[in-house]
Amino acid sequence: MYDKNWAKVDVKALPIIKTELPGPKSREYHSRSAKYMKGYSSQVTLFPVAFESGKGCTLTDVDGNTFIDFSSGIYVSGLGHCHPKISEAVAKYANQLMNCHDFTTEIKMKLLEKLASITMGDLNGIQLYDSGTTAVEAGLRCARTASGKFEFISFWRDFHGKTMGAVSCAIVDKSQGMRAPGFFLAPRPNCYRCPFKMKHPECNFYCADFLENVIKNETSGQLAAIILEPIQGWGGSVVPPDDFIPRLRKICDKYGALLMADEVLTCMGRTGKMFAMEHWNTTPDITTLGKGFGNGFPVTAMCVSDKHKDAIEKISASSSYGGNPMACAAALASIEVIEEENLCERSAHLGDVFLKRMNKMKEEHKIIGDVRGKGCLLAMELVKDQNNKEPFEEAGKLVYQKAFARGLAWVPAGHILRLSPPIIMDDDLALRGLDIIEESVAEVERHFGF
């Protein structure tokens, strides 16, 4: 049994800054790598640090600087970096059996049984993959096969991946080009920036009515599925009002469409529940899992309801790396850690701690327009004016850089700053990280004359 205190740190000693940031080795390593590696994320381009190791809720770079981690490797290492139980499970199979295509192994059998026991409803048809976008593509093909239809509706600013079908479900960047035929987009509730300029609940869910208009007037009556992120990730941790997702379930049933929940980002305790759809007690027909599913090891899943699971047999669903023994070991150990350490409850508690402090910051800082989230899926939106809500992109980039330079690793998205700390984090460390953010916000406000 691993030491339950394995990730404990001296909060007062963190972060540990030994050099200017990024440090000299970080700059050298990044410069040498960037000659060949192209297409870095904004996290890296805005602050090109080179990391060497991680433990629990901290990351250490090649120059010996130790950062508080509010990113979890982009929502991935929710159980902390190098959790001993997960590392040992992966190491065992790295030395025993790395891959045997999709043949059955004991560890795969145990993972499948465990996953079927914790998913909502009857999502018992499972296939395993090595990336979120691959799982999403499989889900789309499965929906078409199960429904006998070919069209999809997804939502503004949701994110589903970077392959053709997944990109067709969202327009994250105009450079991604046109969507494939049969894909339609609709606005989703974002009550801070309502696309219809209305107020909830007085709006009486006009966005749901509008979705039905999209179905009636834009599709050809061949709607296979509606796909969504239960809570937006890239879009800025946007949580829908409580009645939206149950109503979406009813709309799907009304039009004979499947409901597909992309939980690649929101699963495994990230939002305070094992799966975000549990917040609304709504079971999808298809769900996709990833990121925290293996706590850093590349393992994802598509889960399909019993009613439709035979469709999996018809889509050539297997993959070269999906379900390899190392991946199955990482995923099973991750689920067990969440259960053994009551980490869904921990994540929900941390969400309360974060939002209480973030709301106080919003009251005291003019450039903070909105704070929101559930569990350890959180965001802070920066604006030039709290009344007109004009996005403050320059401030977003600068606050991100200032906080990183103070020793906080986290996630930018233009004027929206995203927080996804490991769900094992102690309250004191969370508050220390928020201190760094507030110091950085205050400095940026002074810079822009607020």
Q: Quick check: 411 and 437 in contact, CB under 8 A?
A: no
pLDDT attached to residue 173: 62
pLDDT attached to residue 162: 87
Helix (H/G/I), strand (E/B), else coil: 178: coil
Domain 84-340 fold is Aspartate Aminotransferase; domain 2 (3.40.640)
CATH topology match: 84-340 vs 342-389+409-438: no
pLDDT attached to residue 172: 62
How far is residue 398's CA from residue 412's CA, in Å, rounded to a whole number?
10
Q: Is this structure's pTM higher than 0.85?
A: yes
pLDDT averaged over 10-residue windows placed end to end, the chain, 450 residues? 88 97 98 96 96 98 98 97 98 97 96 98 97 96 97 94 87 67 93 92 88 95 98 94 95 98 98 98 98 97 97 93 96 98 98 98 98 98 97 98 98 95 98 98 97
Sequence-ordered alpha helix ranges (H) in 97-131 = 106-118
CA 370 to chain centre: 19
Q: Which residue ranges make up each domain of the chain?
A: 84-340, 342-389+409-438
pLDDT attached to residue 188: 93
Read off the DSSP letter of residue 411: E
Which two structure tokens, joined as six digits, stand for 87? 């590392």
Q: Quick check: 400 and 385 in contact, CB under 8 A?
A: no
Q: Which CATH class is domain 342-389+409-438?
A: alpha beta
CA 20 to chain centre: 31
How far is residue 196's CA from residue 243's CA, in Å, rounded to a whole number?
18
Which two structure tokens, joined as six digits, stand for 297? 């090891």
